[in-house]
Each structure stands twice: as structure tokens, then as C-alpha cells.
Amino acid sequence: MSMERTAQIEVRELKPELLSDYLKFFDKAFSDFPHWAGCYCGFYDTPGNDWDATAEAGPEHRAARSERINKSRAQGLLAYIDDEPVGWCNAQPRASFANMRSYRVAVTDPDEPVGSIMCFLVAPEHRGKGVCTALLKAACDKFHRDGLQVAEGYPVTNPSKRAWEIPWAEENYKGPLKVYLTNGFKIHRQLERFAIVRKQV
């Protein structure tokens, strides 16, 4: 009887030496959702209201993220299976995000020691294997090491109604509510489209 091997997931904190892995991951991470192919997860670290996530803007965003990572000004976590980057989580102190955009409603006390989990992305062929859970746990550990007291996420609870199927990457980029609740988070506030979930770290 053959037994399927469960892949071991390793999570590494983003550092300049992981830049090539970061770019390798994002160069093809949105293969099933080309509309966001050029994002490179710079959305919440860029001031202003305009943002083009399409492939056309990709080279500009790729270069900007590369510069931030090389200067140790970008934070987050990369997940690996067999030494290949397969997932990403943008997790950092809430106060360090340059632009919370529509999630600034979550900030009632700017001085609160909160770590925000803004984005998840898992490579299409590795979804459903526990990568998101591994990244979430690693984010909480990172916040604890950074001296923060609260981990905060923003899962969608009432998605926009559409006539077409919402792509996986768009539907899950905040992390599924179930994953948060299963890992000790509780709903702190319920807003129209999303919940603010929290866990003490």
C-alpha cells in the first residue's frame, strides 16, 4: 500500500537575500487571475489612490518592490515546499503600512500595538495543502517577536455579488474567515463587507 507524503511547509521571513524567490513567486503567482498579474503586493505600501494591478504595470511595480526589499523596507513571509516558494503573506505592524486604503476603517487607535495581515497568496497547484494556515501561524509568531500584542486580519464575510465566478486569488486574498477562527482568532468588529478578526499574541 502506497502512502502519499505530506509536503513539509517551511515559512521564511522576507529578507533582501530572498528577493529572487519573491520575484520568482510573483512572476507567475497570478497565472489563473491575470487581472492582478502586475501587483507584486505593493498595493498597501504605496501612497495615493490610483493602483494598476494589471500586467501592463507589472515591470514598474516589480522594480519598486525590488528596491524596497533590497533596502529591507518590505516585510512579509514566504512559504516554501521542497525549497520552492509557494505562498506569500503580507504581515507587518499596522502602523508601517503606507496606505491602508479601504481598511483604514479598522484603525480606531493608531498607537495600538497591532500587527496586520493584509494579503495571502498561494500558488494554484499548492492550494488546499495548509499553506495559508502555516503562513498565518508564522505571522502571529512574527508579531510576538516584534513586540506587538494583537494580530489582526480582515477576511471577507459578504463578497460582492457578481454574475461570474470570483477567481480564487481574489476571493481568498484576505484569508478565509474559517482559517482565522480555527486558529484562535475571534471577530472583533463586523463591517458590511468584511470582519476585523483579532488574536492576542
What is the per-residue pLDDT across 76-114, written as a single tens digit (0 to 9) for each? 999 999 999 999 999 999 998 988 887 888 888 888 999
In a domain, 23, yes or no: yes
Q: How confident is the model at residue 159, as a pLDDT?
A: 67
Number of domains, the chain: 1
Instruction: Check whether 165 has a pLDDT greater than 70.
Output: no
pTM: 0.91
Residues 89, 12: Cα–Cα separation, whole Å: 10
Instruction: Say what the alpha-carbon torsion angle 43, 49, 54, 60 is, to the nearest 10 degrees.
Output: -70
In a domain, 2, yes or no: no
| Strand spans (E) along 42-162 | 77-81, 84-93, 114-122, 150-153
In a domain, 3, yes or no: no
In a domain, 184, yes or no: yes
In a domain, 74, yes or no: yes
In a domain, 1, yes or no: no
Q: What residues make up the domain containing 92?
A: 9-200
What is the per-residue pLDDT across 14-37, written as a single tens digit (0 to 9) for each? 999 999 999 999 999 898 888 899
Distances (CA, A) of 10 to 67, 101, 168, 190: 25, 31, 23, 32
Mean of all residue pLDDT scores within the chain: 90
Average pLDDT over residues 137-143: 97
Q: How confident is the model at residue 90, as a pLDDT?
A: 96
Task: Express as a percent the part of the chain with pLDDT over 90.
Answer: 67
Phi then psi dihedrals of residue 150, to 5 deg: -135, 135
The CATH number of whichever domain residue 51 belongs to comes to: 3.40.630.30
In a domain, 20, yes or no: yes
Residues 173, 155: Cα–Cα separation, whole Å: 8
Task: Pick 137 or 159 by higher pLDDT.
Answer: 137
In a domain, 25, yes or no: yes
